[in-house]
Structure 1
Amino acid sequence: MMARVLVALLIGLVFGTGIALSGMINPAKVLNFFDVAGSWDPSLAFVMGGALAVTAIGYRLVLKRPAPLLDARFHLPARRDIDLPLLAGAGLFGIGWGIAGFCPGGSIPALGLGEPAALIFVAAMACGIAATRLIRR
């Protein structure tokens, strides 16, 4: 159990460091990516492309194993259909990202900056998660 916690912490630190080094904890940088007609900044596309490449290679390598190192089995989604909750969630994610300049992955490391906007975003995200869980019950 302790090994899983330490590995999760290490993975989170690597992810947070990557997000911070790429500048993706800065909402203005993210919002500039969406401002195609103005001060467009394509760097987010390179960050996303790099993440996609690493993920594609990583999944191919890891899923060749019979099981993960620290669990009995892989926990992969079984459903592959596109339904209303998936579309609504993706839409809300995109709208929130476009308005605030934060995505969940970038907002957590941004908390370390002491930026009030990051705290407000994370609090709103937590409320949204809690509300969704209540509605689904």
Structure 2
Amino acid sequence: MVPVFRKKWTIMFGLCALALPLVAGVPAHAEGDGDDDDSDAHRASSMHNLAGKLPLPRARKDFSKYHFTPPGDRVVEQPDTNRLLFWTKDGQPDGYAQRRGSSVIYYNAQGQAIRVQRLTPEEMAD
């Protein structure tokens, strides 16, 4: 008797799981043909519109303390990790620079440290 009871509930939950997205997608009521001017003011934003305009402010950092950049490379800032990425003109990674405490450490494309820049007390105060 118990296996039949479990089977019945499993089938019922499976049908509910399949039917729920169909029921949730149907609007509760339909409003006219949408020609009135107030319809745009009350329309919900799509996910594409929301993804394009994030409400969070972008982080800004001052990377003027990073003195060495490989010549001819394109520099990409990553303010949340205190890092500069260096890319060659043909799109290959050329290394990065990251601040660690009182120093800025420069790495090559393989991740090996190639240069250490000590920051002065004036640079650290900023």
The TM-score by the shorter chain falls in which range? under 0.3
Q: Which structure has the highest strand share of the two? A: 2
- Per chain length, whose mean CA-contact separation is higher, i.e. which structure has more relative contact order (CA < 8 Å, sep 6+)? 1
Higher alpha-carbon Rg: 2
